[in-house]
Amino acid sequence: MKNVIVGTAGHIDHGKTTLIKALTGTDTDRLLEEKKRGITIDLGFTHFDLPSGRRAGIIDVPGHEKFIKNMLAGVGGIDIVLLVIAADEGFMPQTQEHLDILTILEVKKGIIVLTKVDLVDPEWLSLVQEEIREKVKDTFLRDAPMLAVSSTQGQGLKELVERIDFYTEETEEKNTSIPFRLPVDRVFTMSGFGTVITGTLIEGSVHEGDQMTIYPQELTAKVRNLHVHGKKVESAYAGQRVAINLSGVKKEDILRGNVAAEQNSMKETMMLDVKLNMLKHAERIIDNRDRLRLYHGTAEVLCRVVLLDREEIKPGESCYAQLRLEESIVAKRGDHFVIRFYSPMETLGGGVILEPNPIKHKRFKADTLEELKVKEEGSPEQILEKVILRFNDAFANIGFYATQTGLSENTILAIVDKLTEKGIIRKFSGTVPVHIDYLTKLEDSIIKVLQNYHNSNPLKIGMGKEELRNKLKIKIKGKLYDELLEHFENNQIIRLHNNFTALADFEVKYSPEQLVILEEIDRLYLEREFQTPAPEDFLNSKKNEQKYREVLEALIEKKQLIKINEDILLHVENYEKAKEMLKQFIKENGQITLSEFRDLIHTTRKYALPLIENFDQNKITKRIDEKRVLY
C-alpha cells in the first residue's frame, strides 16, 4: 500500500494543531511547555485513516519564527502540505517563510486550508482568498484547492479529508528497492526497550534484525523492533513515519540531524557542490565566503558558501556554489536544502545538491562549472559517467553509485552495460564499473612506478604485488586487485609472475661480471645437491660480498634457488629431483619416515627435516604420526 506523509505549515496560532486534532483526534502538542504556552514548539506526529483505506502519517510543525529550525527538521519527508491560514488574520510573515521553504524543498502537492472561518463574514473571507491567490501565484500552490474549514465547528473537514485522499492517489510511489535512509528527528530512551529513534523513512525499507549505521558518526546498531503508526511491525517502507528501537547504541550517541541508513551506503562529507537559488524577495545578498546556516534533512550545520562563478548572489539569482561545512553530514545527489543567514536568522534560499562528496574547487574554473552543469542538467548516462570518474579510486559497486546518483540499481546496471559496449567503462567483478580515463591514468602510474623499480633493482624479476598496491595508493585488495592487474597484463602493460609484477618488456640483464658470479653460484648449488652451504657462510667467504649477494637474491627471487629456510638453499633441479624421488618412494611403499627420506637423498637430518616439512607445507606430503604419506 502507498505510504504518504501529510504535513502542516503556516503562521503561529493559525490553528495547525487544532486542525490535526479535529482530523485525527490526537493532540500533537506533547511538551509541557507547549501545553502551557498554547503553541507548538517542536514537531508533533500522528496518523489517520482515509476513506480509501490508506493510512496517512501527519507531521505538525511549529509556526513561530523562533522554531523555524524545528519546522525544517519536519518538512523534508512531506508528500502533501496543508498550508494553514487563519481567515481572521490572512497571509502572515511565517506563512510566507514556510511557503518559501516548501517551494525550495520542491514539495509537489498542497492544499490551502483557511481555518477559523466561523469567526469571519463572507465578504472578509473573499478578500482573504483573493490575497492568498495573489501570494501563491508563482509557487507550487498556484492551482491548489483552497478549502474553508472550522476545526471547532467541523465545517469543511469532510471535504478536506476527501481531498487529501484524492491527492494520496496521485502521490508518486517511493523507491523501496534502494538502501534505506532515515533522517533522525527524535531520539529518546524507553523503559525496558532502550534507545529509540524516529523519523520519516525517505528511501528503501528496513526490517527487524537489520544492521544499520548511524551517520556521520558511523556507529553500528541493530534493529530490535519497529513501530509504524503506533503498531509493532516487522518491516517499514519509504513514506512511513517510523520508530526504531536500537541495540548497540546509547541515546547520548545520537542527535537530531543524524541519519540512520544501510551499512556502507553513505559517506560523510564536509563539502557539498550545489545549485544555489536565492529567493526573489530575500532582503539581503550573499557574498562569497559568507557564513550561513544549512538545513538538510533534519540537520542544521554552519557553513561557508564559496560562489564558483561570481562575487555575490542577489535575490532571484542562481549559481553554482560549494558549501564548506563546519560539521560533517551525509547527503545524496538530488537532495534539497535550505539556507538561512547566520545572524539574524532569515531564510535566503536553497537548492539542490549536485555532488555530495566533491573535491575542493578553485573559483572561476570553466571545467568545474561545466561538470556541475552536466550534474545538474545531464542525462542519467552523463551524470553516472561523471560520478564514476569522481569515485573511481574507491572502486565502488553499483549500490554505492545508486546512493550517490539517486538512480535505481537496475538503471545503473543498464547504463553501465551501455557504457561498457562503447568502451567508456570496464567492469570488474561484475559490479564495479571503472572509467577508461582512470584506467589510462593508472596505467601511466604503473609504468612509472615499475620503471623506477627496475632501474633501481635491475636483477630483481619484479616488484611485489602488495608493494605496487601501496605505491599506487590503491584501496582495493584480494580478487578485485588481482583482476585489475590481470587487466593490465592482458593489455601487455605488465607481466605477472607469482606475487611479482614487472613491465611486460622487462628482462633481468646481467653484466659480464654478474654472469660469471651467476654461473659459479648455479654450479655450486647444483653440484652440492642436498648438502649445500648456508647462504651467509657462502657470502662471507667472498671479498666482493655485495655483488654476490645481489646475484644470489636474484636467483632466489626467480626461483632458480629454492629457499627452504634461512640456512638452506637448494637448486630448483635438485628440489624437483627430491620431490619426485619422494613421491615415487611413497607410491611404492605407501609411506616414508624421516630417516628413510634422509637416506633416499643421501643427506643428513639437518637438511632432510626442513625439506620434508617444506613438502608438508606445500601439500606434497602429509604427516601422520612419525610417517609421511602423499597429500
CA dihedral 413, 418, 423, 429 (to 10 degrees): 20
Query: In angstroms, rounded to a whole number, what is the distance separating the alpha carbons of residues 295 and 256?
Result: 12
Q: Verify that 8 and 150 share a domain, yes or no.
A: yes
Residue 167, sorted as left (phi over 0), alpha (psi -120 to 50) or beta, turns out to be alpha
Q: Which three cell numbers stand for residue 389?
A: 570518474
Establish if 291 belongs to a structural domain.
Answer: yes
Q: In the predicted model, what is the mean pLDDT of residues 284-299?
A: 95
Query: In angstroms, rounded to a whole number, what is the distance separating the alpha carbons of residues 10 and 328?
Result: 31
Q: Residue for cell digits 560533517?
A: 328
Q: Verify that 191 and 114 share a domain, yes or no.
A: no
Query: In angstroms, rounded to a whole number, what is the distance separating the alpha carbons of residues 103 and 202?
Result: 18
The rounded percent of the chain whose pLDDT value lies above 90 is 68
Which residue range is the domain that position 197 belongs to?
Answer: 181-262
Q: Residue for cell digits 485525527?
A: 24
Q: In the predicted model, what is the mean pLDDT of residues 226-244?
A: 91
Establish if 242 belongs to a structural domain.
Answer: yes
H helix runs in 4-121, sequence order: 16-24, 32-37, 68-75, 93-104
CA atoms within 13 A on the CB side of 400: 17
Whole-model pTM: value is: 0.71
How many other C-beta atoms lie within 10 A of the C-beta of residue 124?
14
CA atoms within 13 A on the CB side of 622: 5
Q: In the predicted model, what is the mean pLDDT of residues 272-279?
A: 97
Mark which of 370, 391, 406 sits at the end of a domain: 370
- Closest listed residue to residue 46, CA positions, set 64, 8, 20, 74: 20
pLDDT at position 452 is: 96
- Closest listed residue to residue 164, CA positions, set 72, 47, 256: 47
Q: Verify that 296 and 221 share a domain, yes or no.
A: no
Q: How far is CA 574 from CA 521, 522, 538, 581, in A?
A: 14, 11, 19, 10
Query: In angstroms, rounded to a whole number, what is the distance separating the alpha carbons of residues 215 and 260?
Result: 6
Q: Verify that 161 and 90 share a domain, yes or no.
A: yes
Q: Verify that 8 and 135 share a domain, yes or no.
A: yes
pLDDT tens column, 559-603: 899 999 999 999 999 999 999 999 999 999 999 999 999 999 999
Q: Verify that 14 and 131 share a domain, yes or no.
A: yes
Highest mean pLDDT: which range of 2-6, 363-367, 398-402: 363-367
The rounded percent of the chain whose pLDDT value lies above 70 is 95
pLDDT tens column, 13-71: 887 888 988 888 766 544 334 334 343 434 567 888 899 888 888 887 764 455 466 66
Q: Which residue has the higher pLDDT, 511 or 488?
A: 488
Q: Verify that 156 and 29 share a domain, yes or no.
A: yes
Q: Verify that 277 and 364 share a domain, yes or no.
A: yes
Residue 543, sorted as left (phi over 0), alpha (psi -120 to 50) or beta, turns out to be alpha
Does residue 485 contact residue 496 with C-beta atoms inside 8 Å?
yes
Mean per-residue pLDDT over the chain, rounded: 90
pLDDT tens column, 462-482: 999 999 999 999 988 899 999
φ and ψ at residue 218, rounded to 5 degrees: 60, 50
Establish if 590 belongs to a structural domain.
Answer: yes
pLDDT band at 176 (very low <50, low <70, confident <90, very high): confident
Which DSSP state fits 118? G
Establish if 549 belongs to a structural domain.
Answer: no
pLDDT at position 196 is: 93
Q: Which three cell numbers stand for residue 176?
A: 523501496
pLDDT at position 447 is: 97
Query: In angstroms, rounded to a whole number, what is the distance separating the alpha carbons of residues 604 and 597?
Result: 10
Q: Which residues contact 81 (CB under 8 A, 6 or more apart)?
A: 6, 7, 8, 9, 75, 102, 107, 109, 110, 111
pLDDT at position 37 is: 38
Establish if 604 belongs to a structural domain.
Answer: yes
Q: Verify that 13 and 119 share a domain, yes or no.
A: yes
Query: In angstroms, rounded to a whole number, what is the distance separating the alpha carbons of residues 620 and 617?
Result: 8
Establish if 451 belongs to a structural domain.
Answer: no
CA dihedral 552, 558, 564, 570 (to 10 degrees): -70
- Closest listed residue to residue 432, CA positions, set 411, 412, 458: 412
Counting the structural domains of the chain, the total is 4
pLDDT at position 342 is: 87
Query: In angstroms, rounded to a whole number, what is the distance separating the alpha carbons of residues 594 and 582?
Result: 11
Mark which of 140, 170, 200 sits at the end of a domain: 170
Which DSSP state fits 531? S
pLDDT at position 34 is: 35
Establish if 95 belongs to a structural domain.
Answer: yes
Mark which of 370, 387, 409 sits at the end of a domain: 370
Establish if 593 belongs to a structural domain.
Answer: yes
Which DSSP state fits 604? -
pLDDT band at 500 (very low <50, low <70, confident <90, very high): very high
Does residue 242 contact residue 182 with C-beta atoms inside 8 Å?
yes
- The alpha-carbon radius of gyration of the chain (Å, integer) is 35
Query: In angstroms, rounded to a whole number, what is the distance separating the alpha carbons of residues 443 and 557?
Result: 25
Q: What is the CATH number of the domain that holds 49?
A: 3.40.50.300
- Closest listed residue to residue 132, CA positions, set 151, 113, 119: 113
Q: Verify that 322 and 213 share a domain, yes or no.
A: no
Q: In the predicted model, what is the mean pLDDT of residues 426-443?
A: 95
Q: Verify that 236 and 162 share a domain, yes or no.
A: no
pLDDT band at 115 (very low <50, low <70, confident <90, very high): very high
Q: What is the CATH number of the domain that holds 585?
A: 1.10.10.10
Q: Verify that 24 and 127 share a domain, yes or no.
A: yes
- Closest listed residue to residue 406, CA positions, set 331, 462, 321, 294: 331
- Has residue 120 got a pLDDT over 80? yes
Q: What is the CATH number of the domain that holds 310?
A: 2.40.30.10
